[in-house]
Amino acid sequence: MSDKKHYKLTVNGQAVDVLAEPRELLIYTLREQLNITGPHIGCETSHCGACTVTIDGKSVKSCTMFVAQADGKDITTIEGLGSPDGLHPLQEAFKEHHGLQCGYCTPGMITRASKLLEENPNPTEEEIRFGMAGNICRCTGYQNIVKSIKAAAAEMNAAKEAAE
Amino acid sequence: MIPAAFEYHRPSDMSGVLAILQEHGDDARVMAGGHSLIPMMKLRMAEVPHLIDLQDVGGLSGIMVGDTITIGAMTTQADIIDNDALAAAAPIMREAALQIADPQVRYMGTVGGNVANGDPGNDMPGLMQCLDASFTVVGPDGERSIPARDFYEAAYMTAREDDEVLTAVSFAKPAGGYAYEKQKRKIGDYATAAAAVQIVKDGGTCVSAAIAMTNLSDTPVYSQAASAALVGTSVDEAAVKAAVAAMLGDIDPVEDNRGPVAFKRHVAGVILARAIERAWSRA
């Protein structure tokens, strides 16, 4: 009954073909089949947000999607946002403003924050806290995460203005 | 967490969905955003040998705003929040949707899934009862409409037959003041108690009211008695007290990790009083 099937995904701009049972959770496909280990498995129960990726323009907890549902979708993970040599402004800001301690929640935080800033490029502190409510951090107390996102927003807005 | 194996179906139209439901009966279930069903499957509290993903079925999402408001079953909570026409016509929808789960879940969770699942913790069923909504379901014998106030029979048991699919919710554009008030332990939690209230005011008098409560029984509770307690009054302290007392006669909470029965009844009273006061101030 549950034979493996081929699924076509676009992950960080690259077309990939995976062979998996439909019940495989997308986070496992990303981590174990594609070696994309940025998105983490935290609670695995849709609460913590460590597994957050962007799918067709929506922030999604990839522990709560079967790979079969993701067939044909465009997926962006933290690996698709920046690189060690060219950090995304959010990555740079988290580094500068101590937006992380252990770092476990950080890929999910930054991936979610990237979508938040796309929808609302100049959020207030309250909007940041509300928009990040699906991501849990057990280290920072959130203060520096909020600060980092605010700083990244300012940086990205300044860069956009300079480009215009 | 690994759910039990299943056959995955992604039909492109409703007749395809209905055909699979006909063929597999109880063994098949439809899934919208999956954010109620997938967690249950992961815990193996739900086993679904044939999973029917509705994402490719056209015509199931979208919001139509007129004298009647119709919302397609696959419309997400995020779509509800983003829709300015809906927020203007029925602001209680946005107010409630903003209190459901968290941003990621709201991108995926749908109105149809929320109302059809029959989970007493879901917020939309009580809200739909407050708004006196109707649910459209389609099955092998065609389409029919079921009032939200008659839809819920027990936890996860509804008036929808196994071979029917809920395709839309609709309700008359609400009048007057509104409030959706929810007490929860943390973001993403279900309500300890929640209240949906719509009140119409004429002069200084309440001429109609609708009150429904969430997660305080094994179904949402539309409290006719609480609604009636407000009508004809100036919604003063005595009227609010009477409405709360009437509501407490209609709910039947059970003890769980959100607290003992006495606490839940206390919270229900506080939440309803707040909701009535806020709705009245907006009427």
pLDDT tens per residue, range B219-255? 999 999 999 999 999 999 999 999 999 999 999 999 9
Domain A5-80 classification at class level = alpha beta
Residue of B nearest to A109 (CA): B104
Q: How much of chain A exceeds pLDDT 70, in percent?
A: 99
State the DSSP string of chain A: ----EEEEEEETTEEEEEEE-TTSBHHHIIIIIS---SS--SSSSSSS-TTEEEETTEEEEGGGSBTTTTTT-EEE-GGGT-BTTB--HHHHHHHHTT--SS-SSHHHHHHHHHHHHHH-SS--HHHHHHHTTT---SSS-SHHHHHHHHHHHHHHHHHHHHH-
For the residues A134-156, what does the mean pLDDT come to? 97
Is B108 in Cβ contact with A133 (below 8 Å)? Answer: no
C-alpha to C-alpha distance for A16 and B140, rounded to whole angstroms: 39
Q: CB-CB: which of B6, B42, B102 is closest to A2?
A: B6
Neighbours of B242 (CB within 10 A): 17
Q: CB-CB: which of B7, B78, B104 is closest to A1?
A: B7
Distance from CA of B192 to the nearest CA of A (A): 18
Chain B interface disruption, residue of A6, A44, A46, most B CBs within 10 A: A46
Residue A1 has pLDDT above 80, yes or no: no
Q: What is the pLDDT of residue A94?
A: 98
Residue B5 tokens read as 């194996």
Q: What is the pLDDT of residue B230?
A: 98
Residues 6+ apart with CB under 8 A from A32: none
- A20 touches B: beta carbon within 8 Å: no
Give chain B's largest Cα–Cα span. 61
Residue of B nearest to A24 (CA): B2
Distance from CA of B39 to the nearest CA of A (A): 7
Residue of A nearest to B102 (CA): A134
Chain B residues contacting A, CB < 8 Å?
1-8, 10, 34-35, 38-39, 41-42, 49, 51, 53, 55, 78, 101-105, 107-108, 187-188
CATH of A89-163, one of 1.10.3720.10, 1.10.150.120, 3.40.605.10, 1.10.287.130: 1.10.150.120
- 8 A C-beta contact, residue B192 and residue B264: yes
Distance from CA of B149 to the nearest CA of A (A): 30
Is B51 in Cβ contact with A22 (below 8 Å)? Answer: yes
Q: What is the pLDDT of residue B1?
A: 85
Q: CB-CB: which of A2, A59, A60 is closest to B5?
A: A2
Chain A interface disruption, residue of B2, B8, B189, most A CBs within 10 A: B8
Is A71 in Cβ contact with B55 (below 8 Å)? Answer: no
**Domains B7-53 and B180-282 are alike in CATH topology:** no
For the residues A53-58, what does the mean pLDDT come to? 98
* Bridge partner list, A17: A8
Q: Does domain B180-282 have CATH number 3.20.20.70?
A: no
The structural domains of chain A, with segments of one domain joined by +, span 5-80, 89-163
The structural domains of chain B, with segments of one domain joined by +, span 7-53, 63-172, 180-282
Which residues of chain B does A45 touch, with a Cβ-Cβ cutoff of 8 Å? 1, 39, 42
Confidence of residue B9 (pLDDT cuts 50, 70, 90): very high
SS3 B149: helix
Confidence of residue A164 (pLDDT cuts 50, 70, 90): confident
Distance from CA of B203 to the nearest CA of A (A): 37
Closest CA to A144 of A85, A81, A83, A90: A90
Confidence of residue A2 (pLDDT cuts 50, 70, 90): low
Which residues of chain B does A134 touch, with a Cβ-Cβ cutoff of 8 Å? 101-105, 187-188
> Model pTM?
0.96
For the residues A17-38, what does the mean pLDDT come to? 98
B63-172 in CATH: which number?
3.30.465.10
- 8 A C-beta contact, residue B60 and residue B30: no
ipTM of the complex: 0.96
Q: What is the pLDDT of residue B147?
A: 98
Distance from CA of B253 to the nearest CA of A (A): 25
Domain B7-53 classification at class level = alpha beta
The b-or-e profile of B38-70 (16+ CB within 10 A means b, else e) is bbbbbeeebebebbbbbbebeebbebebeeebb
SS3 B208: strand
Distance from CA of B150 to the nearest CA of A (A): 31
Which residues of chain B does A132 touch, with a Cβ-Cβ cutoff of 8 Å? 103
Residue found under tokens 């003890």: B255
Is A134 in Cβ contact with B78 (below 8 Å)? Answer: no
Which residues of chain B does A52 touch, with a Cβ-Cβ cutoff of 8 Å? 104
Q: How much of chain B exceeds pLDDT 90, in percent?
A: 99
Distance from CA of A65 to the nearest CA of B (A): 7
